[in-house]
Structure 1
Amino acid sequence: MNPSQHVDRLIRKLETLAALSDEEKQALRGLPLTVKAFKADQDILREGDNPAECCLVLEGMVFRYLMLDDGRRQIMGFYIPGDIPDLQSLHITTMDHSVASLVPTTVAFIPHQSLNELNARHPTIANALWRDTIVDAAMFRLWMVGLGQKSAHERLAHVLCELLVRFKAVGLAEDEQTCAFPITQTELGDALGLTTVHVNRVIQDLRRDGLITLGRGSLCINDWERLRQRAKFNPLYLHLDGREARP
């Protein structure tokens, strides 16, 4: 597939945040891309890097993380095709965290200069990218609420609900209930502040309650409403109602 065709996933993502004209979509497709494949658990960007490009996830899945001096890891977000997990590097020159591949992943690197020129020519695109960083910040806020106030069951259920909604928004869900889920229990533990044993117990509870089917890299939410209530999940923070927004 022509790499520029992968930008259509980004376009679909941005269209959840702002209405784009045909001209604006074509401008996005014209961005210069350098495509690179990464193995699983391979750093794409490291803390302390000074990138001159942003990375667009084309295939696979990536995560944002920080390592403590003693080797403990905190995962702070999962990113799917269509996401630009380091978009803030347009304005913050030094990375204060790392971004790595969760599974074998393909990304497209887009020069900062090209993105800045695109934003100058097309304010609606700039507005959509700005809204994307706002949604990213909103996801961090919900992450903090989960770590500080929610139970283990609520935290895990929230991640499951959020990922299905995000996969559906960019047309990557297998159906209304099912999406890819290649995240291991160890990675969930690093994201949710839980031991692997605790994560396993929570997953078994959710399975036993008939809420989810999880395995072989796939998640099926069998009872959305009950899982949503268990998670106390409200998708408002994802701002998927912004399709008509224009500056």
Structure 2
Amino acid sequence: MVSCLAERLSHYVRLTEAESLSLTQLEDQERSVRRGAVIIRENEGPRELYIVRSGWLHSSGVLGNGSRQILRFHFKGDILGLPLLAFADSPETVTAVTDAVLSPFSRERLAQIIADHPRLGALILGLSVAERVALADRLASIGRTSARARVGSLICEIVARMRRLGAVGNGGYVQLPLTQEDIGDATGLTSVHVNRMMRVLVEDGIIERNGGNQFRLLDEKRLVAESNFVDRTGLETGWLPEAR
């Protein structure tokens, strides 16, 4: 079995056999979940973290007025539940957007990997920081940009992450199994507004939609500029400790 986390980390460094083996052992269990399943619930103390082997999920929080704010979408190779390294109870809810396959593991097993392989721990820390910076970008976008820029920035983010995963299909098409409500909850917009923005982006020749759940960027440079998007999928790795 190939470790999805190892595959993701190998985009940044060449893993040693020992590092790869440790990550593969971390994914020695699989759990299938159905679309809509809640994996981690806000304000509860789950005992497990997870690595995504397939499918889409998202982290979200419930605001004081009962509305939902989606914070992060999760794809293959992502770690779910990292906030549990800092808090006893989860500050967010993790939900499956599609059917998904996850590998559960304990905090103690992750701690052992970090002790045995400090470079892996440092790399996971770097990825976690990059995710938080990407979240800060989105929050700034929600607070200070137009509806078109918010939707455009989210589209650019998804494309950048799919490209890093090698998940951009023939002709440049990317899967988008998100409802308009999902996109709205990630950008602070209503479903009606999301529908309008997506339609305008199509009419302006910036994106092309192929059915209900695929799209491709026709003018990425323009959308990046309009949305003030910064690709946060790259990492600075020069500071990492040597592999053991």
Same fold, TM-score > 0.5, yes or no = yes
- Give the direction of change, closer, same or farther, for the CA distance of 1:186–1:36 in structure 2 (3 Å limit): same
Which moves more between the two structures, 15-24 or 70-79?
15-24
Cα distance, 1:77 vs. partner? 1.2
* Corresponding residue number in structure 2 for 1:130: 125
Match among 211, 218, 226 for residue 214 of structure 2: 218
Cα distance, 1:71 vs. partner? 3.3
For structure 2, the residue ranges without an aligned partner over 5 or more in a row are none
Listed as ranges, the matches of 1:45-194 within 5 Å are 45-68=40-63, 70-175=65-170, 177-194=172-189
Cα displacement string for residues 26-54 of structure 1 (whole angstroms, at most 9, x for unaligned residues): 22112253322222122100012212221
Confirm whether residue 199 of structure 1 aligns to residue 194 of structure 2.
yes
Distance 1:175 1:125 in 2: 33
SS at match of 2:78: coil
Distance 2:239 2:10 in 1: 9
- Code of the residue aligned with 1:63 in structure 2: it is H
Query: Which is bigger in relative contact order (C-alpha 8 A, separation at least 6)?
Result: 1
Distance 1:191 1:228 in 2: 18
Contact 1:186 1:196 in 2 (8 A): yes
Which moves more between the two structures, 35-44 or 200-209?
35-44
Distance 1:68 1:224 in 2: 33
Distance 1:241 1:94 in 2: 29
Confirm whether residue 242 of structure 1 aligns to residue 236 of structure 2.
yes
Aligned length: 240
SS at match of 1:82: coil
SS at match of 1:34: coil
* Corresponding residue number in structure 1 for 2:203: 208
Cα displacement string for residues 189-231 of structure 1 (whole angstroms, at most 9, x for unaligned residues): 1111111111011001100011112343212111211121121
- Give the direction of change, closer, same or farther, for the CA distance of 1:85–1:139 in structure 2 (3 Å limit): farther
Distance 2:170 2:108 in 1: 38
Distance 1:167 1:115 in 2: 26
SS at match of 2:77: coil
Cα displacement string for residues 106-164 of structure 1 (whole angstroms, at most 9, x for unaligned residues): 11111211111011000010011111110111111111111111111111111111111
Cα displacement string for residues 3-40 of structure 1 (whole angstroms, at most 9, x for unaligned residues): x42x2x31232234444223211221122533222221
Contact 1:19 1:243 in 2 (8 A): no
Distance 1:179 1:245 in 2: 33
Contact 2:53 2:76 in 1 (8 A): yes
Distance 1:225 1:30 in 2: 41
Distance 1:48 1:34 in 2: 26
Q: CA RMSD in A?
A: 1.8
**TM-score with structure 2 length normalisation?**
0.91
SS at match of 1:99: strand
Contact 2:38 2:93 in 1 (8 A): yes
- Code of the residue aligned with 1:53 in structure 2: it is E
